[in-house]
Amino acid sequence: QVQLVESGGGLVKPGGSLRLSCAASGFSFGDYYMTWVRQAPGKGLEWLSYISSGGDNTHYAASVKGRFTVSRDNAENSLYLQMNSLRVEDTALYYCARECDIGDCVDQWGRGTLVTVSS
Amino acid sequence: QSVLTQPPSVSAAPGQKVTISCSGSSSNIGINYVSWYQQLPGTAPKLLIYENNLRPSGIPDRFSGSKSGTSAALVITGLQTGDEADYYCGTWDSSLSVGMFGGGTKLTVL
């Protein structure tokens, strides 16, 4: 079965950096676009970024563009999110998710990893 | 504030029907597919509807989706207490080149 397991979350000070990882299994990882979505405590879903199957095409939400970088290692079935210049408002549960075959939707989600930005 | 507008909450009695709306614009819902997600308390979201009105395997036909112009809707019939959750619409915005979700709608089954 499809599994997406995020890791790397934790407590970080404003201005700090963190790298999230997502280990994928149960499907042909290199065939799928992948997405990062976050959810601040008590708030709704916020789309952050996607990366194409080959890793050559990426898009970012305005709120993280220039600070976050998505990447992948298809040989390791892994997705990453490098987060720099973190702000208090980046505090959220970060989900790794798989794009649908045909795009325009997300059909598999991890359980998320919590990032807390606080002094 | 989300670009896709959903009502913050809806409610209905068990067995009844509820409609959750999602309003966007010509650059997102107007030209792209809409998907819907259910998030039960304390869990990750789950895909309910894709390509405006298609259900993934395992999603009961009590859940249906539609799209007209720059708006979309999720209809849930035969409401059950287990349907109490937050529901989100999602799509792509071709002008901004970003994905987006609605602000979410909390469904209460009275």
Q: What is the mean pLDDT of residues A68-86?
A: 98
Confidence band, pLDDT 50/70/90 cuts, at residue B48? very high
Name residue, tokens 């209905």: B12
Question: What pLDDT is recorded for position B5?
Answer: 97
Both tokens of A67, joined, read 């600070």
User: According to the model, what pLDDT value does residue A28 have?
Assistant: 97
> If you compute the radius of gyration of chain B from its CA atoms, what whole number of angstroms results?
13
Cα distance between residue B29 and residue B102, in whole Å: 11
The mean predicted confidence, pLDDT, of chain B is 96
The answer on pLDDT for B87 being more than 90 is: yes
Average pLDDT rounded to a whole number, residues B67-73:
97
Q: Does B87 touch chain A (CB under 8 A)?
A: no
How is A10-74 classified by DSSP, letter by letter?
EEE-TT--EEEEEEEESS-GGGS-EEEEEE-TTS-EEEEEEE-TTS--EEE-TTTTTTEEEEEEG
Residues on A contacting B at a C-beta cutoff of 8 Å: 35, 37, 44-47, 50, 59-62, 95, 100, 102-107, 109-112
- Which residue of A61, A106, A107 is in closest CB contact with B98? A61
Q: Which residues of A touch B104 (CB under 8 A)?
A: 44-45
**Burial grade of B30 (CB within 10 A; 0-12, 13-18, 19 or more):** middle
Q: How many CA atoms lie within 13 A of B87 on its CB side?
A: 31
Average pLDDT over residues B72-101: 96
- Give the residue from A4, A46, A104, A107 with the most B CB atoms within 10 Å of its CB, the best one to mutate: A104
pLDDT of the residue at B20: 98
Alpha-carbon gap, residue A1 to A30, rounded angstroms:
16
The amino acid occupying position B35 is: S
Q: Tens of pLDDT along A1-50?
A: 999 999 999 999 999 999 999 999 999 999 999 999 999 999 999 999 99
pLDDT in tens, B9-39: 999 999 999 999 999 999 999 999 999 999 9
Residue B47, chain A, CB below 8 Å: the answer is yes
pLDDT for B1: 63
Q: What's the number of CA atoms in the CB half-sphere (13 Å) around residue A55? A: 14
Spatial neighbors of A7 by CB under 8 A, at least 6 apart, are: A20, A21, A22, A23, A113
